[in-house]
Structure 1
Amino acid sequence: MKKKLNIAILGAGESGVGTALLAKAKGYTVFVSDKGKIKEKYKNVLINNSIDWEEEAHTAAKILSADVVMKSPGIPDSIPLVKVLKMQNVPVISEIEFAAQFTKATIVGITGSNGKTTTAALTHHILKQELNVGLAGNIGDSFAKQILEHDFENYVLEISSFQLDGIVGFKPEIAVLTNITPDHLDRYEYQFEKYIESKFRIALNQTKDDYLIYDADDEVIVNWLKNNTIESQLVPFSLTKKQENGAYLDKDNIVITIDNDKIIMPSNNLTLEGKHNVKNAMAASTVAHLLKIRKQTIRESLENFQGVEHRLEFVLKINKVQYINDSKATNVNATYYALESMETPTVWIVGGTDKGNQYKELFQFINEKVKAIICLGVDNTKLMENFGGMVDIITETQSMSEAVKMAYKLAESGDSVLLSPACASFDLFESYEDRGRQFKDAVRNL
């Protein structure tokens, strides 16, 4: 008789609890351990499914005796328990690695420093018009839970570098790399090269039958591809260079060619604004083209897609001032795109947990577009040092309601108020979603 495998799961959030449910259904003995307090909704799921769990502690003996450990992406490899597991050769994997072995679905994996949420949501929006497809990874219900409850024929997965660090055999048939800019360097020993390697793990197990769609305007990606070998077929997209097999912008038209099959779409019909969203649309449309979605369906989907919450989300216009929620901008490059897209004088709310940020690339837009800066964080020293001499008004706040009231006083008719923090949210908020919702609530309460 086959031995029952033990799985220990570190972290009882969406991915941890989803993995626990799938593992139990597949005959594993499951133990869930969370160093913090488990949210009530997840605790109830574990109790109702008779899954063994603990909170506010890790019982090392139970975890070290596991055959495999699934680690939630928020837990660094540097914690002592994970180091001991690796020393003892206990496999430490991510949810996507564990879950993928239980589905035969076609997988589209999307990663990148910025744009991956919008690209994943847009790709799913196009594909679902004609295919049976789930959207998972960093979005919505976990991949593991969806395999258990639906097992779609196709999946679009938004995948972080932390999730890719925990893969062994995971392989998407189509991988998308939106861009690579310095982010999460605190998790990569402040070495950009290690972060780049992590992102390219999305293509680690791909073969010549698979595809890697990537931004050909991104020097980091292009240089890495020059110096490293990828098995998969390369499909670039670009705003500036014509692509024989890939996507590019020709005047105002997006042109996508795959094996001489061409699709042409006007870029000015996109519902999403900004050059970065033209790229996101190219990536999503290229996936759809590879999966044989009809051209008309792709065009219509691009024209009716509504965008994602907390990403350049127009909240309200009050006294002719537009309030914009870009709370998902947790790094400098994301804020770069937000400031680049601003067309009116801007009161900018910035700040949070700095991840080793370099702010220089924002200076041109601050000089051109920003009339006042509101720093929102526990420690705003670095922001004050970087931006203090660049605008007439720079101020500090420590709550969202205070920041929004300050913005209301500073903004005049025709201005915009932009929350685009360029930092993580964990100093004052539970998550970027919590930060964005607090911003919207504060605006609605003005």
Structure 2
Amino acid sequence: MDKKLIVVLGGGESGVGSAILAQKKGFRVFLSDSGVLNDTHRETLQAYRIAFEEKQHTGEYILTADEIVKSPGIPDTAYIMQKVLAKGIPVVSEIEFAGRYTDAKMICITGSNGKTTTTSLIYHILRSAGLNVGLGGNIGKSFARQVAEESYDYYVLELSSFQLEGVYDFKADIAVLLNITPDHLDRYDHNLQHYVEAKMRIIRNQRTEDAFIYWIDDPLVTKEIEKLKPAATTYPFGEKKNGHMAAYTENGKLYIQTKENIFDMELELLALEGMHNVYNSMASGIVAKLMDVSDEQLRTSLSDFKGVPHRLEKVATVRGVQYINDSKATNVNSCWYALQSMRTKTVLILGGTDKGNDYTEIEELVRSKVRALVFLGKDNSKLHAFFDGKVDEIRDAGSMTEAVEAAYQLAQKGDTVLLSPCCASFDLFKNYEDRGDQFKECVRRL
């Protein structure tokens, strides 16, 4: 019998990892990308002798696949996907595909905001506690490639709604849902419920012995939980103690209550600042206690964690003005969190590719905290339409150098300059990392 053909669509980190795993499991493999592969990925595929194409999708061959592993970035509306779906070829995500080939315990994190920070913090806690743990999903190395080449007992996976769409039999042993706010609605026909349903796939296939950790103060999440009645054991967390809670705050302390244990820690000892990070620390702490990390070890890890690049990252203080890189804030809600944690007057750099944003969410914070706005993008008309007249000083910038220069002129001693763009970066930058790196570079040149 002929070996099954697995076609991988998309030649990024997850696609290349999936191709390597498929080859290792004895399938015939073909990888196809409509864009240009980066040099590292191309060299990797060549080294593994995996057949691939770039700058095109050869439909005739792709449509002979027995199964397709699709990159999360490719929407079902793409021309090749329409053909694939019409032919009824099974399509899965890298997460679903790789999950078949490992018995490791899965700790999975999703949410509109805070998932990278929380995933990184959980990984930091577990690794510091000496567990044999891998980090993957929407962050770090490809999960599929790690399954092919490493041997971990646990995986901490950050999962986006796009990745969760392609999950069917995969199961999280511990699922964490931080929050749900409107994001990527362009992908979900501007229907919030479709996005909510994609996120809730994180609890798919969970059983009583599995854990589901969630923020109880999120109305969208709680409404959905009442409707779905998850089979997993639930561990809600929130700001105030209210009934049976796994984590809450009281009198300046964070409390975590699981099994017979009550863990407590002074809030000001947490490495991460801002209330949203208290929630991220709560979710991470619940995971740690479910995995029997000692109180002492957990306290140490929650207080010495270094944070995530491009997420409220302190860059430098120049002439009494602090510069903060929050380039990872690609939606309005992320920017809201950033502004909320500001303790000084702020010069805010906004703009980029708008994903159907509604800026009313940050309007009040902008009016109360923002001294000046700098719009950084190819087309700032939507930003002007909303903010003109609400802030005294507004400038436009067509490059990061111009934006930082304008912010430098507008900021006063004791202020903060915050890059928290609310938008995707693709109009002027390769990605949000490139945007953040350029910001840091420009600040260091001041």
TM range (shorter): over 0.9
2:80 corresponds to: 81
2:72 corresponds to which letter in structure 1? P
1:230 corresponds to: 230
What percent of counterpart residues are identical?
Answer: 50
How far apart, in 1, do the equivalents of 2:240 and 2:182 lie?
Answer: 23
2:188 corresponds to: 188
Q: 1:256: Cα distance to partner?
A: 1.1
Kept after mapping to 2: 8 A contact 1:354/1:423: yes
Kept after mapping to 2: 8 A contact 1:236/1:243: no
Kept after mapping to 2: 8 A contact 1:174/1:211: yes
Match of 1:249, SS? strand
- Give matches, 1:97-176, under 5 Å: 97-130=96-129, 131-176=131-176
Q: 1:229: Cα distance to partner?
A: 2.2
Q: 1:392 and 2:392 equivalent?
A: yes
- Give matches, 1:254-333, under 5 Å: 254-333=254-333
Q: 1:243: Cα distance to partner?
A: 4.8
2:19 corresponds to: 20
Q: 1:228: Cα distance to partner?
A: 2.1
1:25 corresponds to which letter in structure 2? K
Deviations 1:318-374 (A, max 9, x none): 001000000000001100000000111100000111111111111111111100000
1:286 corresponds to which letter in structure 2? I
2:378 corresponds to: 378
How far apart, in 2, do the equivalents of 1:38 and 1:426 lie?
Answer: 17
1:4 corresponds to: 3
2:51 corresponds to: 52
Match of 2:128, SS? coil
Kept after mapping to 1: 8 A contact 2:238/2:245: no
Deviations 1:199-252 (A, max 9, x none): 000001111111110001111101111222211111100012335241111121
2:26 corresponds to which letter in structure 1? G
How far apart, in 2, do the equivalents of 1:79 and 1:412 lie?
Answer: 48
Q: 1:83: Cα distance to partner?
A: 2.1
Kept after mapping to 1: 8 A contact 2:352/2:377: yes
1:193 corresponds to which letter in structure 2? Q
2:359 corresponds to: 359
1:330 corresponds to which letter in structure 2? T
How far apart, in 1, do the equivalents of 2:97 and 2:229 lie?
Answer: 26
Q: 1:259: Cα distance to partner?
A: 2.6
How far apart, in 2, do the equivalents of 1:354 and 1:340 lie?
Answer: 21
Match of 2:176, SS? strand
How far apart, in 2, do the equivalents of 1:78 and 1:158 lie?
Answer: 25
How far apart, in 1, do the equivalents of 2:242 and 2:271 lie?
Answer: 24
Q: 1:426: Cα distance to partner?
A: 0.8
Q: 1:408: Cα distance to partner?
A: 0.7
Moved over 3 A (4+): none
TM-score by length of 1: 0.98
2:404 corresponds to: 404
RMSD across aligned C-alpha pairs, in angstroms?
A: 1.0
2:205 corresponds to: 205
Q: 1:445: Cα distance to partner?
A: 1.3
Residue ranges of structure 1 left out of the alignment (5+ in a row): none
How far apart, in 1, do the equivalents of 2:77 and 2:247 lie?
Answer: 40
How far apart, in 2, do the equivalents of 1:150 and 1:253 lie?
Answer: 39
How far apart, in 1, do the equivalents of 2:287 and 2:210 lie?
Answer: 12
2:194 corresponds to which letter in structure 1? K
1:38 corresponds to: 37
Match of 1:185, SS? coil
Kept after mapping to 1: 8 A contact 2:237/2:245: no
How far apart, in 1, do the equivalents of 2:425 and 2:106 lie?
Answer: 30
Match of 1:186, SS? coil
How far apart, in 1, do the equivalents of 2:240 and 2:380 lie?
Answer: 38
TM-score by length of 2: 0.98
How far apart, in 2, do the equivalents of 1:101 and 1:52 lie?
Answer: 23
How far apart, in 2, do the equivalents of 1:5 and 1:265 lie?
Answer: 53
How far apart, in 2, do the equivalents of 1:250 and 1:87 lie?
Answer: 55
